[in-house]
């Protein structure tokens, strides 16, 4: 009932939203197809022909067995964040990286492959138990799998009135050929996938094989299992002394009965986890419990399941231990809603109070940008329960540009640490650390410094790529640079896929213009009918671009521009290059000589070499 300005978006009295932001819907010209880096899993039932023959006059029995098998395999794919593209007779083709991208799609694909083998083995064991009295049982089921990673073109097409997502590319053919070479129970992996997942899995070289359709033999690897030290992977901590000292200072305050809230913010790969790991190692005088919000679909409150379990094991008071265990149980049952959250928050708080009588308590929640709503709400409720004299520190990490976890006023002290990229000196130091003390030639170091932007993950990935490509230094004498490593491309693509479509379209248009671009030019070029200004403002808030002038912006990282550019189909890129060139001519007719190199480049990439040459000739004549 409060009086409000007619243009107000929220009520000045209660804060309720008065006018919801109208969603911006891209026009029908918005691209539905894109280029993707995808990991393909091709799984085949071994001996299907024998199964058909053995079923004889009982085809229904075979159908039931196969349906049960395919239903179970499809469920495994979905659980690991993949998509079942199609079933082909006795085979299933699954995609990781399209239409949904994750930062670790190759790892997910191999984890899925291992579980698919286990699933078929379990199904077969149960089937044999059911049919042990049947002398004419069907032959044993077995699975062979091929896995490959590579660039594909993916998109949604309508067939027979239904939409279907599919991909086309060499990775699909390679995965299919590899599974055809495998034996029952084997998982054969292409070199492209092995390179992106060797930190997490154990492989055995299977030599080089000649695949149908390939001119040369290709290296193949046999997946042997999960690497025991997978959880210890991560880059070295370089130049975070100030941040580490600040975290230690906050812990000292918490130990003196001054509870602390700490938020670590930074881009993906900038070193948030490395900093948290180093801090946890330092916190020897505290009880540290950690939970990570998983990238894959998981149950609600997954991070707090681990936190509650860790607290329960440290509680000595029987009443507090019982409350902590009750909190853990309540989190498993999301049907309890607010009652369950309250029970869990109060139970955790009781456990914290008991432990803090002897030791300071540190609760760490990593990657809250991936947290489910219940996890976010539980953190807020737990913070509200903290009393001023408790020896507690709650620390969480999130990515730049994501929504803040706490945006209200709280009695507890809140510290926000924003991690910046490494300096050039520390970037070179990290290269040396990755190479165990060796150094790259100066030209390659300069290249990595420029392209990594000081992001530790990018530095490591680019350094590894350079070392593995022994011919790179010679090629640097010609145009071209180090390609975006697959680990980095997946990370950036996942980020771009997580933003609204209208913002992603504007980002792709900007990527065609260049590392630096003008808002007025984008408004003139826009092919998709979106609100360019509001999208640019949103992209700047997310940290993907940054303002460098009154209406000029710059990509926050050159690799973000390259991935945004590379995901577009060639036809769309050509059309945008021509639109950009024509717009530049119309907007700046008196700067033709100055803009000639850029105009010629755009026209050439648009496929119009005649116009590119014409622009350069005109510029040359104007200089005479």
Lowest-confidence segment of 123-127, 159-163, 201-205 by average pLDDT: 159-163
Which residue, 58, 35, 252, is CA-closest to 153? 35
Residue 51 has pLDDT above 50, yes or no: yes
Residue 20 has pLDDT above 50, yes or no: no
pLDDT interval class at 202 (50, 70, 90): very high
pLDDT confidence of residue 39 = 95
Q: What are phi and psi of 277, to 5 degrees?
A: -60, -45
pLDDT confidence of residue 532 = 92
pLDDT interval class at 231 (50, 70, 90): very low
Lowest-confidence segment of 65-79, 310-324, 347-361, 422-436 by average pLDDT: 310-324
The arithmetic mean of pLDDT across residues 500-527, rounded, is 91
Structure token pair of residue 89: 């007779």
Q: Are strands 552-555 and 545-547 parallel, antiparallel or unpaired?
A: antiparallel
More confident residue, 297 or 517: 517
Query: From CA 172, how far away is CA 599, in angstroms rounded?
Result: 38
Structure token pair of residue 412: 């507890």
Classified as helix, coil or strand, 238 is coil
pLDDT interval class at 334 (50, 70, 90): very low
pLDDT confidence of residue 222 = 96
The arithmetic mean of pLDDT across residues 183-200, rounded, is 91
pLDDT interval class at 467 (50, 70, 90): confident
Residue 21 has pLDDT above 50, yes or no: no
Lowest-confidence segment of 94-103, 368-377, 444-453, 476-485 by average pLDDT: 476-485
CB atoms within 10 A of CB 444: 19
The pLDDT tens digits for 561-583 are 999 999 899 899 999 999 999 99
Cβ(23)–Cβ(159) below 8 Å: no
The pLDDT tens digits for 115-150 are 999 999 888 888 777 766 454 556 677 899 999 999
pTM of the model: 0.72
The arithmetic mean of pLDDT across residues 169-180, rounded, is 93
Query: From CA 295, how far away is CA 206, in angstroms rounded?
Result: 32
Which residue, 88, 79, 81, is CA-closest to 45? 88
The pLDDT tens digits for 354-382 are 899 999 999 999 988 888 888 888 998 99
Which residue, 585, 7, 61, 607, is CA-closest to 598? 585
Classified as helix, coil or strand, 218 is strand
The pLDDT tens digits for 380-429 are 899 989 888 889 999 999 988 776 777 666 667 889 999 999 999 999 99
Query: Helical H runs in 98-169?
Result: 105-130
Average pLDDT, the chain: 82
pLDDT interval class at 486 (50, 70, 90): confident
């Amino acid at each position: 009932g409060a009086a409000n300005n007619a243009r107000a978006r929220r009520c000045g009295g209660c804060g309720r939203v008065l006018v919801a932001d109208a969603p911006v819907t891209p026009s029908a010209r918005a691209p539905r197809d894109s280029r993707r880096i995808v990991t393909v899993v091709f799984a085949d039932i071994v001996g299907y022909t024998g199964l058909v023959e053995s079923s004889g006059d009982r085809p229904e029995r075979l159908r039931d067995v196969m349906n049960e098998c395919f239903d179970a395999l499809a469920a495994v794919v979905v659980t690991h964040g993949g998509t079942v593209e199609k079933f082909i007779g006795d085979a299933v083709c699954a995609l990781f990286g399209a239409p949904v991208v994750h930062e670790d799609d190759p790892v997910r694909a191999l984890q899925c492959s291992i579980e698919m083998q286990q699933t078929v083995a379990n199904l077969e064991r149960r089937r044999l138990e059911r049919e042990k009295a049947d002398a004419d049982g069907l032959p044993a089921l077995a699975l062979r799998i091929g896995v490959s990673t590579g660039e594909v073109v993916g998109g949604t097409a309508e067939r027979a009135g239904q939409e279907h997502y599919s991909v086309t590319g060499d990775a699909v053919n390679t995965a299919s050929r590899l599974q055809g070479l495998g034996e029952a129970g084997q998982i054969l992996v292409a070199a492209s996938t092995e390179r992106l997942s060797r930190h997490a899995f154990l492989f055995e070289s299977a030599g080089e094989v000649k695949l149908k359709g390939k001119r040369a033999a290709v290296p193949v690897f046999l997946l042997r299992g999960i690497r025991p030290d997978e959880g210890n992977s991560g880059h070295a901590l370089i130049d975070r002394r100030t941040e580490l000292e600040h975290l230690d200072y906050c812990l000292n305050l918490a130990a003196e009965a001054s509870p602390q809230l700490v938020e670590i913010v930074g881009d993906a790969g900038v070193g948030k986890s490395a900093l948290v790991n180093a801090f946890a190692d330092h916190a020897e005088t505290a009880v540290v419990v950690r939970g990570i919000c998983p990238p894959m679909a998981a149950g609600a409150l997954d991070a707090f399941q681990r936190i509650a379990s860790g607290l329960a094991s440290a509680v000595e008071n029987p009443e507090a231990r019982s409350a902590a265990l009750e909190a853990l149980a309540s989190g498993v049952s999301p049907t309890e809603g607010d009652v369950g959250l309250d029970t869990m928050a109060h139970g955790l708080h009781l456990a914290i109070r008991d432990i803090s009588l002897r030791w300071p308590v540190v609760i760490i929640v990593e990657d809250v940008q991936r947290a489910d709503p219940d996890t976010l709400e539980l953190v807020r409720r737990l913070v509200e329960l903290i009393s001023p004299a408790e020896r507690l520190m709650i620390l969480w990490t999130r990515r730049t540009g994501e929504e803040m976890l706490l945006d209200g006023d709280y009695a507890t002290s809140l510290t926000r640490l924003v991690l910046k990229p490494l300096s050039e000196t520390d970037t070179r130091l990290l290269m040396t650390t990755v190479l165990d003390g060796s150094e790259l030639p100066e030209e390659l170091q300069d290249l990595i410094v420029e392209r990594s932007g000081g992001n530790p993950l990018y530095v490591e990935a680019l350094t590894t790529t350079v070392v593995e490509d022994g011919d790179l230094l010679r090629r640097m004498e010609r145009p071209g640079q180090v390609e975006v490593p697959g680990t980095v491309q997946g990370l950036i693509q996942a980020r771009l896929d997580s933003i609204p479509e209208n913002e992603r379209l504007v980002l792709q248009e900007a990527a065609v213009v260049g590392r630096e671009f003008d808002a007025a030019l984008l408004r003139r070029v826009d092919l998709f009918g979106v609100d360019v200004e509001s999208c640019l403002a949103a992209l700047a808030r997310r940290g993907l671009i940054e303002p460098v002038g009154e209406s000029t912006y710059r990509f926050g990282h050159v690799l973000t521009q390259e991935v945004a550019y590379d995901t577009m189909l060639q036809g769309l890129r050509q059309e945008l290059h021509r639109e950009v060139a024509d717009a530049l001519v119309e907007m700046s007719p008196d700067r033709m000589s100055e803009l000639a190199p850029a105009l010629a480049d755009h026209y050439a990439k648009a496929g119009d070499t005649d116009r590119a040459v014409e622009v350069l000739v005109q510029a040359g004549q104007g200089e005479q």
